[in-house]
Amino acid sequence: MGTIDSRWFAGGLAKRLKNTFRLIGLGASRCASINYRPTPRCGVSSGNPQRRPESLSIAPRNQQSRTGPPLISEDLFRGVLVRERNRADRSNQPLALVFVALQAPREAGSAPIWRAVVDALAAAKRETDVLGWFDDHEAIGLILPEIPASNPAFPRELHDRVRRELSRRLDAQTARRVSIRLHIHPDPKAAVAAGFRSVDPIVGRPFREDKRRTHYDAAKRALDVVLSLTLLAILSPLFLMIAALVKLTSSGPVFFRQERVGQMMKPFMMLKFRTMDVNTDHAIHHQFISSFIKSGGHAGGASKSGLFKIADDPRVMPIGRILRRTSLDELPQLWNVLRGDMSLVGPRPPLAYEVEQYQSWHRRRVLEAKPGLTGLWQVTGRSRTTFDEMVRLDLRYAQSCSVWTDIKILLATPRAVISGKGAC
């Protein structure tokens, strides 16, 4: 029985193997008769070559070239610029930013000029420098981190070197279409009051206004207008009462007008209820603020002074002390909010002589957000906060871009005002 079963099994196995090989042969013959093309690998085309990615192009969108040094995309370039700017702020090691732009950058025939621009910048740059698109693909930027601070002639030498490399590659008529801009960061001259209206792209917000930021700015402005109008109407009796008290207890105007530095270093006239005698000497506050910012000390130290206001200031009127302790002297700034000079929430607007004492990273607090009536540092520590801590809180707020954050700060402000913690 076992012998019969073995023979039967062997015969059946042979038949099955024979049928299997027949099927394999039939399949192979059919595949051979089909015009088969293998699927191309990622990034490789069987027909026309794929376009090179934007990060490797050296001409604007519709005029991309496949030769020359690689350029990183604009988003990557801005990210590198932010990183290097922050590093320069912390290390006090300056960086340079070169922009090369072309008149009519997208017209036909501009691709060879862009190639010459890229080759010129590549010849002028160091191995650690970064080349990329900027200004919505209408300029090419070159970031040079850690430039020699001991050589004051370096900016001019760099500008001349780029111009010389361009002249080697372009004729005189074409070279006139090319413009070169050079920025150094941090630039000590940018801190003086005379330069407030001129802000370069390094110290300003180096990000494009994306949809998220645009929607946030629109919602924030709508909130400012609605709430400032509402509060001005509701608090008008309180305004009249405070104005009467100021007028009855001292001679002089009801309101105090003072020039402050707003967003992007734009000056504006800020309003407050007057809390000091007329024609007082402001040198005391000037000296205090200067020494406080330079030392980085704590506001609640031996001087017993607030972050912006000196405790027991002899210049302050009796009614002014009450207004300051309750922050009621700030109410007229609702008019600044309605005008658009300020926002309900944001960093406090500094004086010009305060900004002169700022380190480069301090200046970002007046560049990246509109000044506000209240802010994150007011509800977390008010004048008990150190100056550097205040700046960090302002920068954290500027990066949040959240209306909900604004609402939470507004809701927390009355408690901080009523408690008077840290106020002078």
* Residue at 322 is within a domain: yes
Q: Which one of 170, 185, 200 terminates a domain?
A: 185
Owning domain of residue 72: 54-185
How does pLDDT run across 174-189, given as a tens digit for each residue? 888 899 988 888 765 5
Q: Which one of 167, 185, 203 terminates a domain?
A: 185
Looking at the fold, whether 241 and 119 belong to one and the same domain comes out as no
Looking at the fold, whether 153 and 228 belong to one and the same domain comes out as no
Looking at the fold, whether 140 and 277 belong to one and the same domain comes out as no
Q: Specify the DSSP class assigned to residue 190.
A: G
* Residue at 33 is within a domain: no
- The confidence score (pLDDT) of residue 269 equals 96
Spell out the residues 6+ positions from residue 177 whose beta carbon is closer than 8 angstroms to its own.
102, 103, 104, 113
Q: Measured over all CA atoms, what is the biggest interatomic distance in the chain, rounded to whole angstroms?
A: 130
List the chain residues with pLDDT less than 70.
1-69, 187-212, 281, 295-312, 381-385, 420-424
Looking at the fold, whether 320 and 240 belong to one and the same domain comes out as yes
134 phi and psi, to 5 degrees? -155, 165
Exposure string (b/e) for 145-168, b if CB count within 10 Å is 16 or more? bbbeeeeeebbeebbeebbebbee
Q: Which two tokens stand for residue 47?
A: 């027909």
Looking at the fold, whether 180 and 239 belong to one and the same domain comes out as no
Whole-angstrom Cα Rg for the chain: 33
* Residue at 8 is within a domain: no
Looking at the fold, whether 293 and 394 belong to one and the same domain comes out as yes
Question: What's the domain count of the chain?
Answer: 2
* Residue at 31 is within a domain: no
- The confidence score (pLDDT) of residue 187 equals 67
* Residue at 146 is within a domain: yes
Looking at the fold, whether 163 and 215 belong to one and the same domain comes out as no
Q: Specify the CATH number for the domain of residue 73.
A: 3.30.70.270
* Residue at 144 is within a domain: yes
* Residue at 265 is within a domain: yes
Spell out the residues 6+ positions from residue 351 whose beta carbon is closer than 8 angstroms to its own.
258, 259, 260, 261, 289
